[in-house]
Chain A
Amino acid sequence: MTIVDDIAGLRRILAESRVIAVVGLSASWHRPSYFAAKYVQEHGYRVIPVNPNYESILGETCYPSLAAIPGTVDIVDCFRKPGEMPALAREAVAKGAKVLWMQLGIRNDEAARIAGDAGLAVVQDRCVKIEHARIMGGLNWAGVNTGVISARRPVHGS
Chain B
Amino acid sequence: MPDHKFGFDTLCLHAGQIPDAATGARAQPIYQTTSFVFDSADHAASLFNLQTFGNVYSRISNPTVAALEERVAALEGGRAALATATGMAAQTVALLTLARAGEHIVAARTLYGGTYSQLAVTFAQFGIDVTFADTDDPAAFRAALKPNTRAVYAETIGNPQLNVCDIAALAEVAHGAGVPLVIDNTLASPHLCRPFEHGADIVVHSLTKYLGGHGTTMGGIVVESGRFPWDNGNFPQMTEPSRGYHGVRFYETFGDFGFTMKARMETMRTLGPTLSPLSAFLLLQGIETLHLRMPRHSESALAVAQHLARHPAVDWVSYPTLPGGRYEALARQYLPRGAGGILTFGIKGGKLGGAAAGVKFIEAVEILSHLANVGDAKTLVIHPASTTHRQLTEDEQRAAGVSPEMIRLSIGLETLADILWDIDQALEKSQQ
Interface centre among B14, B26, B51 (most CB of A within 10 A): B51
Closest A residue by C-beta to B5:
A147
Q: Per DSSP, are chain A's interface residues mostly helix, strand or loop, or mixed?
A: loop
Asked if B255 and A142 make an inter-chain contact with CB atoms under 8 angstroms apart, the answer reads no
Cα–Cα distance between A154 and B18 once the two chains are bound (Å):
8
Q: Decide: B51 and A143 in contact? CB cutoff 8 A.
A: no
Identity of the chain A residue whose Cβ is nearest the Cβ of B66 in the assembled complex: A141
Write the B36-63 contact mask toward A (1 if CB under 8 angstroms, else 0): 0000000100100111111100000101
* Bound-state Cα–Cα, A145 to B14, Å: 12
Please determine whether B51 and A35 come into contact, CB atoms closer than 8 angstroms. Answer: yes
Cα–Cα, bound, A130→B195 (Å) = 26
Known: A30-B246, A34-B51, A39-B52. A142 touches B80 (CB 8 A): yes
Q: Which of B2, B67, B261 has the most chain A CB atoms inside 10 A of its CB?
A: B2
Taking CB atoms, residues of chain A closer than 8 Å to B252 are 32
> When the two chains form their complex, are residues A152 and B18 in contact, meaning their CB atoms are under 8 A apart?
yes
Residues of A130-158 at the interface with B, using a CB-CB cut-off of 8 Å, are: 130, 133, 137-154, 156
* Contact A145 B52, beta carbon cutoff 8 Å: no
Q: Is the CB of B80 within 8 A of A39?
A: no
Task: List 19 interface pairs A-B (beta carbons < 8 Å), by A numbering.
Answer: A6-B3, A30-B241, A35-B49, A39-B51, A137-B21, A139-B53, A141-B63, A141-B66, A142-B80, A143-B81, A145-B73, A145-B74, A146-B70, A148-B18, A149-B6, A150-B19, A151-B14, A154-B18, A154-B19
- Residues in B neighbouring A137, C-beta threshold 8 A: 21
Cβ-defined contact, B260 with A144, below 8 A: yes
CA distance A53 to B37 in the complex (A): 37
In this complex, the interface size class of chain B, counting residues with CB under 8 Å from chain A, is: 35 or more
Alpha-carbon distance A39/B155, docked complex (angstroms): 40
Task: Return chain B residues, CB-CB under 8 Å to A16.
Answer: none
**Closest residue to A155 on the B side, CB-wise?**
B21
CB distance from B199 to the nearest CB of A (A): 19
Determine the distance from Cα of A149 to Cα of B8 in the docked complex, in whole angstroms.
12
Asked if residues B78 and A142 are in contact (CB atoms below 8 Å), the reply is no
Decide: B15 and A29 in contact? CB cutoff 8 A.
Answer: no
- Determine whether the beta carbon of A144 is less than 8 Å from that of B70: yes
Given A8-B3, A144-B70, A151-B19, 19 further pairs, Cβ under 8 A: A9-B1, A29-B49, A30-B249, A35-B51, A38-B46, A38-B51, A39-B46, A104-B255, A127-B255, A139-B53, A140-B16, A140-B66, A141-B53, A143-B61, A143-B65, A144-B79, A148-B18, A152-B18, A152-B19
